[in-house]
Chains A and B, each alone.
Chain A
Amino acid sequence: MVLAGGLGGAGGVAAATQPPFREFRRGGMLYRRLGQTDLFVSTLSFGSHTNPAYRVAAERGTALNEDGQALRDRHIAKAFDRGVNMVDVYENAGQWQPMAQTVRGRRDKVLVSICRQFSQFAGRHIDAAAGLFGHVDLYRIALNPGPDIDEKTFEDWDAIRRAKRMGKVRAIGVSLHDERKMVSCLKELEGLDFIMFPYNFIHARADYSEFLPKAIEQGVGLIAIKPLAAGSIAKLDPMARPGSTPEDPRVRLYKRGNRPVHPAVVEKLTRSLNRIPGESLCQAALRFVYSKPFITSAMPGMFQEQELDDNYDAISRHLELSHRLSHTELNVLAAAQDLSRARGPGWLPSHYRWLDRCWRT
């Protein structure tokens, strides 16, 4: 690992000849450079999904009720204290205004990531966000599946690039799930700084054989969304630890699967996990993501304080143990893959089951 201080005093000539440093550590957090930008993002970032147990209907999408908002604000504040420096903000989750208040006073230390989810003109959307947050650190458009990028997307992309030139946005990107379209984006979208794409140890079996090498070669920043497969990896964990109990009893995140699984598979996973004292399957899954140097940050959704702690501990373990996973740790992941296969597509939440087809190819 190269520390920031190592090159801090380098002269102009040396700086021109040496590659820029890619990552550094501060406290218990690891920060990585986002592609070729000058942004350093914490390897654990805060996802935008809100806890469904507290959602209420709003004019555009949903919002959180008072309790839910207070809880989320507390979690985010704790995440900032732990060194998390990027938070994704969904407009349709009613989080723009609350987040603008949360980051006020520490705007220089927090990277705000905004996504255009609807078909409104991106140039105008950015202006609205920049008006609220001062500027937008990461701006992206969510692309629908399909191999081709349509003309309107190009026009929106042009508006986004212009906004970046005006200093309203610092890094621009896309989020999507379709590998063929990811490849198209690399080829067609000028000035692409980052891509948010689903990446976890199960998904990695599809290995993105075309996309990943190209993205790495182009130096595009890669942010892993769904590092815990929309929470489903937690559900694979046969060790429903007491500490993982949800704070809200209505949320049963760590519930058992609703389909019988061969006990031998569960036992195999349990045995493997038992050989790594103190580590949960989720932590092993996150450490798998952190072990990939091309991933800038993993962005799990976090609804509970316990999850934030677990995910943060995964970074500590990553920093303390090794950047590469041991044979035992890989065995855990292999056993979890077997378990997910045994459960079938039902291991994912119903609205994400289509992903299983992509991930198994």
Chain B
Amino acid sequence: MGGAGKPHLTSHLFSFGLAILIVFANLVAAEQPPQDEAAPAPDSGQKEFKEAGVCVRCHIVSVLEWGISGHRQAATTCQSCHGRSEGHVANERNEIKPQRLPRGADIAGQLCLTCHQSGCPESKQLQTCQQCHHVHALVHPTQPRAADSDHTNDILQRWDGFKAHMARGRQHVENQQWTSAHAAFQSALKLIPDDRRARMQWNMCRRRIDPAMPGFRIVGDKVESATGLPRDVEVVGFDIKMGMVPPGEFDIGSNALADSQPVHTVRVEPFYLGRSEVTQAQWRAVMDTNPAGHQGESFPESKTLPVERVSWDDCMQFISRLNDRVAGGGFRLPTEAQWEYACRSGANQAFRPNDIGASSWYRANSLRNAEPESEFLELEAYAPRPVGTRRPNRWGFLDMQGNVGEWCSSMWRPYVYDRNDGRESNGQAGLRVVRGGSYADPSAGLDPALRHAERPNRRLRFNGLRLARGVPPPALPKSIDRSK
């Protein structure tokens, strides 16, 4: 039996491993935050995962095995055999074992016979159940079911085809043959529609073929390689320059700040962000008014000063009007995760207050008059400065720290940051996050991780805004798009 059974077992294990890989890919896709615009809904995943609840977090293989068993169909769950095992679930270091975990010959007596009291219906055996039944899958431990073979072969064939198309596509990308590469990735997506990498490559090629984006005029010829998006754009009809923020993950927060704990990893999808804060002139061009506190004869350069004394509600109105007037719309405030990611330029290093002098306007260099500092200064002694007059950060964004604080779309809620927990809902009442610190803050107030929040109707002379715009993914053909 050993010689005949071995290839079967190997094949079975290989296909089983492949199935796990595919399921994993689905899981990873399901955990990604939704993109700004309508993206295809990820596959809902394996039903047995939902039914198994918390157990699947660690015992994926066991749950997959259980998923094909008669036990699952009979709603006999993990707890039915192993007990509720709350201590085991809560103890991440696995120092507490499940309530019932018999091994070997004890399994029949302690588990199987508690329900199947008269023994096996076929063999009438009262012991050694595991000779004929896999402990979780219940099927024969070494003989795959006939129906599994076709299913496995189908998966293997699709997988091989997928890999071939992806390799071909990547080759075309290297040769900058965007149309051919696009076709190759589309073929790959037809085989495995939910594959994230294939989708990204397909998007990138599509954008390379047709880089135009409604409402944007492309500036220069620099393109972000992973997404195919132009790095620099300008809002048509308004002198607002924006830059591409590449997708990626970073560690948000700081363990040195009470409201910014814990440090945790957040994924950010690609988006466009204003190269600088919205100026008084730009605000006036959209709203026909200028609420800023720093204007008039004392501030001859006021057109290039960042707009301030705008509330979060005012910003929503500004954005609404801009969206009405620019093709494609889609402008918004950045989320606080997007803001911090762009401020850090994707890097995770700690904030060094002594390094910001060249890149930021803050209390130490924002005195209106260059007179020696008095001990007794009122707030009016400080003022914002024209945007873009300090050194940009690594990704080319100006005044991310200092000058004026920047409203974010996010509602104030404690970390962990989860954009799907309602904090990004515009309709809810509550404090809104302000980031970046202002000209009146000390250097410590410019920490990229420092979270501040204010009432959405409050207009303060420290707070302004910076525009963001999501990047809608190109629409998939109907033959691939499973969300349709």
Contact = CB atoms under 8 A, between A and B. Distances in A.
Interface of A: 60, 118-121, 123-124, 127-128, 152, 154-156, 158-159, 161-162, 165-168, 190
A262 to B, nearest CB: 51
B363 interface: yes
B450 A121 contact: no
B460 interface: yes
Given A123-B363, A154-B460, A166 B376 contact: no
Interface string B428-443: 0001000001001110
A297 to B, nearest CB: 24
14 contacts: A118-B376, A119-B378, A120-B377, A121-B440, A123-B363, A123-B379, A123-B441, A128-B375, A158-B458, A158-B460, A159-B440, A165-B257, A168-B444, A190-B453
B455 interface: yes
B158 interface: no
B378 A121 contact: yes
Nearest to B453: A190
Given A127-B442, A166-B444, A190-B431, A121 B451 contact: no
Given A120-B376, A127-B442, A167 B460 contact: no
Interface in B252-307: 256-259
- Max chain A CB contacts within 10 Å: which of B257, B445, B450, B455? B445
A154 B375 CA distance: 22
B424 interface: no
Nearest to B309: A151
A37 to B, nearest CB: 12
B381 A121 contact: yes
A123 B455 CA distance: 19
A124 B442 CA distance: 8
Interface in B379-401: 379, 381-382
A45 B455 CA distance: 33
Contact of B462 (A152, A158, A165, A168): A158
A165 B382 CA distance: 21
A161 B450 CA distance: 12
Interface string B350-393: 00000000000001000000000001111101100000000000
B461 interface: yes
B442 A165 contact: no
A173 B152 CA distance: 68
A167 B450 CA distance: 11
- Closest 4 A-B residue pairs measured CB to CB? A121-B379, A166-B444, A120-B376, A155-B460
A154 B463 CA distance: 12
* Interface size bracket, B side: 20 to 34
A186 to B, nearest CB: 14
Contacts of B450: 162, 165-166
Contacts of B378: 119-121
Contacts of A124: 363, 377
A167 B461 contact: no
If over half of B's interface residues share one DSSP class (helix, strand or loop), that class is named, otherwise mixed; here it is loop
Interface of B: 256-259, 363, 375-379, 381-382, 431, 437, 440-442, 444-445, 447, 450-455, 458, 460-462
- If over half of A's interface residues share one DSSP class (helix, strand or loop), that class is named, otherwise mixed; here it is helix
B375 A165 contact: no
A158 B458 CA distance: 10
Nearest to A168: B444
A354 B256 CA distance: 47
Contacts of A166: 257, 442, 444-445, 447, 450
A38 B479 CA distance: 59
Contacts of B444: 166, 168
A156 B452 CA distance: 14
Given A154-B460, A155-B462, A190-B431, A165 B377 contact: no
A124 B373 CA distance: 11
Given A155-B462, A158-B462, A162-B452, 17 more contacts: A60-B376, A118-B376, A121-B379, A121-B382, A121-B440, A123-B363, A127-B442, A128-B375, A155-B460, A162-B437, A162-B445, A165-B259, A165-B452, A166-B257, A166-B442, A166-B450, A168-B444
A162 B375 CA distance: 21
A158 B454 CA distance: 8
B452 A161 contact: yes
Contacts of B258: 165, 167
Nearest to A161: B452
A123 B381 CA distance: 12
Nearest to A166: B444
Residue from A154, A156, A158, A161 with most neighbouring chain B CB atoms (10 Å):
A158
A128 B431 CA distance: 29
Nearest to B440: A123
Interface centre among B375, B437, B442, B452 (most CB of A within 10 A): B442
B379 A155 contact: yes
Contacts of B461: 155
A158 B442 CA distance: 14
Nearest to B375: A128
Nearest to A128: B375
A60 B375 CA distance: 11
A167 B462 contact: no
A108 to B, nearest CB: 18
Given A121-B381, A155-B379, A165 B451 contact: yes
Contacts of B460: 154-155, 158
B441 A152 contact: no
A123 B379 CA distance: 9
A213 to B, nearest CB: 23
Nearest to A121: B379
Contacts of B458: 154, 158
A121 B382 CA distance: 10
B313 to A, nearest CB: 15
B261 to A, nearest CB: 12
B426 to A, nearest CB: 20
A314 B106 CA distance: 72
Contacts of A155: 379, 460-462
A341 B76 CA distance: 81
Contacts of A161: 452
B257 A167 contact: yes
B350 to A, nearest CB: 15
A123 B377 CA distance: 10
Contacts of A128: 375
A156 B259 CA distance: 20
A166 B452 CA distance: 10
A168 to B, nearest CB: 8
A155 B434 CA distance: 14
Contact of B379 (A152, A165, A168): A152
Contacts of A190: 431, 453-455
B445 to A, nearest CB: 6
A61 B437 CA distance: 33
Nearest to A152: B379
A190 B375 CA distance: 28
A231 B394 CA distance: 62
A102 to B, nearest CB: 22
Contacts of A121: 377-379, 381-382, 440
Contacts of A60: 376
A152 B461 CA distance: 9
A159 B363 CA distance: 12
A159 B259 CA distance: 16
